Amino acid sequence: MDLDSIEDKSSSIENSNHGELESESNNVDSLEVVSSGGDTMREVESVAENLTKVELDIAHYSEKLINLDVLVMHVASRGSDFEAFLVENHTQEGPMLKALQFDLLSGFLDSEVTELEKFLSALHTDIVSSRKVVSSFTQLGDTFYDIKDKLHDCEDSLKQSFEQVSGFKEQSANFQRILLASSGDEKRKDNEDVGCLENNNDRNLSAKIKTQTAEQQKSILRMLEKSLARELNLEKKLTEARETEEELKLRLQQEVFCMEQEAEDIWERLFEAENSAEILSGVSKELFGRIQMAHLSMNRLTERGGELRSKHEKLSEQNNELTEKVSEADDTWERLFEAENSAEILSGVSKELSGRIQMAQLSMNRLIEREGALRSILENFSEQNNELTEKASEAEKRAEIAEAECKKLRMSNMELTTDVIHLKSSITHATNKVEQLETQLKDSEIKRDHAVASAEASQEKQSMLDCIIKDMGNLIEDLKSKVLRAESQTESAEDKCILLSESNAELTDDINFLTSRVEHLETSLQHANEAKHETAKDIRVRTKLITDLVLQLALERERLHKQISSLMKEKKVAVRFLQRVKDPSFKLSKNNNKNGSPEKEVNDENTGSSAISYEMEGNAQNDSSKTDANAGQDDPPSEVDTSRNIDARQLKFNYVLVIVLIFLIPPLTAFILSQ
């Protein structure tokens, strides 16, 4: 009996300890799952960053491939020029310079192609490594398929770039062959020139050169066609790459947003699940412990009540029998009294236990109500409920096993109760059980302390999870910042490319405008120089004409001065003759004779001043001499002479101004034209 009770206690304690260990292991597993999920998310984010880097590198080197295609076209044009120089019979300096330029350009192209091959091989290794990493995360779902699609796109673009690089390699090899062929052709030309001097075979050499140039021109045309097709393909690829970049940006934004929402939902669910799991595990442990303890106590109390009742009946029967045998049962009476006392004690204990059982039943009812509320909460967490139901089924099985063992113990107790000799042992057993109940109460208090400690540990775990959540939030913010930086870098690169293209277009327009302007200025300078020469010739001719006119004017002036002086003399003679004719009186003649000398002096003075006035009048004054003579009768001769002097001075000033202007016109025109 003692051994069975001890085994029951040990089994219950082991079960409770096992339940606590299982709950702790579940919490640890949940933390490991969270940490492993965080590691997977970090790896996936690193793979996504690598893919974005690869895509950006591919876009950068696609632009470089376009530039290389332009360089190939330039090298092909230089090669055609070089071949044309080789065909024509120029001096040795032109082909040598063309050969050097063609050699340098082909060497530069070969080095660029090798660098591109190395870089593309490195990108291929990165893509292969990222594919290996991504293949281990098939459980991610949509993100896995998106990353897989990105990898396929990167591989397709790499294949196309490898094809373009192989085409560039072939073209560079053709350029090297052209150089080697040109060097060989020069040697052949030297040998053939010697042979021509000996054998006079110039026609065959010209035919060979023409066939070679035609073939080379055909190859160059083919290369140009290929380069144009490649340019078209590259333009299409650029448009596709820009579209893919925009799609990738949108996808990245959507994926980041979805990942953030999913992460928030997952973390909320994880926290709720962990909190509910910890609460439910603690409550279920407490409930199962209390239920087991209540079942055990109920079974033990029922067993003890039955045993005590059977023992009481047997003792009453034995007391009836022992009353008949008083003489033989003195000692037994004392034992019976002790047994009765112990029975009374046990009955009191049983009453106390029944009260405790009622309290336990009330607590059980309350716990059942709590279980109903918790079950309503547990319906949201089916997996944990299944685990708890499994644990409950295991506990029920253990209870059934304990009940079967209790039945066996009852049978053994029924068999043992037949012996009255073991009354003391049963009483001692009852006292031991009371002590065990006290120890169980102490154990329950200890378990409660353990539950409080586990609650504190759960709080610490929650704080750890909060820290982990903060770290994940920081990681998400870092990823957002990196994505924003990458977007800003791509936008800045696009803006720079647009600005460079616009600046190049503006520069080309400015260069074209300046070249046209320079040509126009050159033509205008030529026209200005021609106009200067023509104006200089015209000025020379006009100066000659003006000098001739000035000389003629001077001669005519002298002639007119002589005519005017002769006319003045004739006029004076005519005036005197008229005065004599009109004044027959002698007095007048005397007066005229007396005043003749001063009048002559006055007239002589006036002739010098009025000579210039008669220069422009000419022969007209000959006709008006009669009218002047008639006017001389009315007016004195001094007034006529003064008016003529004024007109002559004005005419002299006008002639001087005209001559000065004529001399100033040619230098002024020359000065204006020079400006």
- Amino acid, res. 53: K
Count the domains in the chain. Answer: 3
Most confident of the ranges 249-258, 295-304, 430-439, 535-544: 535-544
d(CA 161, CA 59) in angstroms, rounded, equals 10
What average pLDDT does range 344-357 have in this prediction?
63
Structure tokens at 387: 């685990």
Average pLDDT along the chain = 66
Instruction: Examine the domain organization and report whether 454 and 545 are in the same domain.
Output: no
Taking the CA of residue 632 as centre, how many other CA atoms within 13 Å lie in the half-sphere pointing to its CB?
A: 18
Query: Which DSSP category does 635 fall into?
Result: S
- The answer as to whether 520 is a domain residue is no
What average pLDDT does range 380-391 have in this prediction?
59
Following DSSP, what letter does each residue of 364-405 receive, concatenated?
HHHHHHHHHHHHHHHTT-HHHHHHHHHHHHHHHHHHHHHHHH
**Nearest residue to 212 via CA among 80, 315, 323:** 80
Burial of 645 (0-12, 13-18, 19+ CB in 10 A): middle
Structure tokens at 632: 């001389």
Share of the chain above pLDDT 90, in %: 0
Instruction: Examine the domain organization and report whether 308 and 162 are in the same domain.
Output: no
Instruction: Examine the domain organization and report whether 444 and 557 are in the same domain.
Output: no
Contact 433/304 with Cβ under 8 angstroms? yes
Q: Give this prediction's pTM.
A: 0.26
Q: How far is CA 78 from the centre of its chain?
A: 38
Instruction: Examine the domain organization and report whether 609 and 633 are in the same domain.
Output: yes
Under the banding of pLDDT at 50, 70 and 90, the label for residue 497 is confident
Structure tokens at 372: 């109903």
Under the banding of pLDDT at 50, 70 and 90, the label for residue 474 is confident
d(CA 207, CA 87) in angstroms, rounded, equals 11
- The answer as to whether 232 is a domain residue is yes
What average pLDDT does range 194-207 have in this prediction?
44
Most confident of the ranges 245-254, 428-437, 552-561, 576-585: 552-561
Given a cut of 70, whether residue 657 has pLDDT beyond it is yes
Following DSSP, what letter does each residue of 83-98 receive, concatenated?
HHHHHTT--SHHHHHH
Return the pLDDT at 516: 84
Instruction: Examine the domain organization and report whether 587 and 449 are in the same domain.
Output: no
d(CA 450, CA 106) in angstroms, rounded, equals 83
**Nearest residue to 107 via CA among 83, 81, 62, 71:** 71
Given a cut of 60, whether residue 186 has pLDDT beyond it is no
d(CA 168, CA 176) in angstroms, rounded, equals 12
The tens digit of pLDDT for each residue in 395-409 reads: 667 667 766 765 766
Under the banding of pLDDT at 50, 70 and 90, the label for residue 139 is low
- 3-class SS of residue 327: coil
d(CA 629, CA 621) in angstroms, rounded, equals 12
Return the pLDDT at 289: 76
Under the banding of pLDDT at 50, 70 and 90, the label for residue 39 is low
Structure tokens at 455: 């609650």
Return the pLDDT at 515: 82
Return the pLDDT at 618: 43
d(CA 559, CA 620) in angstroms, rounded, equals 16
- The answer as to whether 512 is a domain residue is no
- The answer as to whether 119 is a domain residue is yes
Structure tokens at 510: 């400015």
Given a cut of 50, whether residue 643 has pLDDT beyond it is no
Sign, CA dihedral 427-428-431-432, equals: negative
Instruction: Examine the domain organization and report whether 243 and 329 are in the same domain.
Output: no
**Nearest residue to 50 via CA among 132, 108, 113:** 132
What average pLDDT does range 536-546 have in this prediction?
85
Return the pLDDT at 666: 73
- Amino acid, res. 7: E
Instruction: Examine the domain organization and report whether 389 and 292 are in the same domain.
Output: yes
- The answer as to whether 481 is a domain residue is no
CA dihedral 359→363→364→366, nearest 10 degrees, is 140
Q: Which of 453, 470, 487 is the last residue of a domain?
A: 470
- The answer as to whether 494 is a domain residue is no
**Nearest residue to 263 via CA among 534, 82, 470:** 470
d(CA 94, CA 97) in angstroms, rounded, equals 5
d(CA 599, CA 605) in angstroms, rounded, equals 10
d(CA 168, CA 109) in angstroms, rounded, equals 8
What average pLDDT does range 591-612 have in this prediction?
43
Contact 206/27 with Cβ under 8 angstroms? no
Following DSSP, what letter does each residue of 116-142 receive, concatenated?
HHHHHHHHHHHHHHHHHHHHT-GGGTH
The tens digit of pLDDT for each residue in 56-72 reads: 777 776 777 777 777 77
Structure tokens at 646: 């004024």
Instruction: Examine the domain organization and report whether 92 and 210 are in the same domain.
Output: yes
Instruction: Examine the domain organization and report whether 321 and 248 are in the same domain.
Output: no
Report the alpha-carbon angle 387-392-397, nearest 5. Answer: 125
Instruction: Examine the domain organization and report whether 163 and 181 are in the same domain.
Output: yes
Instruction: Examine the domain organization and report whether 63 and 209 are in the same domain.
Output: yes
Instruction: Examine the domain organization and report whether 533 and 669 are in the same domain.
Output: yes
What average pLDDT does range 177-204 have in this prediction?
50
Q: Which of 245, 266, 287 is the last residue of a domain?
A: 266
* End-to-end Cα distance, the chain: 139
Return the pLDDT at 528: 83
Structure tokens at 176: 């090297």
Q: What range defines the domain where residue 47 resides?
A: 26-266
**Nearest residue to 62 via CA among 258, 235, 180:** 235
- The answer as to whether 490 is a domain residue is no
**Nearest residue to 290 via CA among 226, 371, 403:** 371
- Amino acid, res. 131: R
Could you tell me which residues come within 8 angstroms of residue 99 by beta carbon, excluding any fewer than 6 positions away?
82, 179, 182
d(CA 571, CA 514) in angstroms, rounded, equals 79
d(CA 312, CA 427) in angstroms, rounded, equals 12
Return the pLDDT at 375: 60
Please report, for residues 62, 134, 151, the alpha-carbon distance to residue 116 in angstroms, rounded to integers and kept in the order given: 10, 26, 20
- Count CB atoms within 10 A of the CB of residue 510: 11
d(CA 526, CA 520) in angstroms, rounded, equals 10
- The answer as to whether 56 is a domain residue is yes
Task: Identify the residue whose tokens are 């000659």.
Answer: 544
Q: Which of 470, 485, 500 is the last residue of a domain?
A: 470
Query: Which DSSP category does 585 fall into?
Result: S
Phi, psi for residue 200 in degrees, rounded to 5? 60, 60
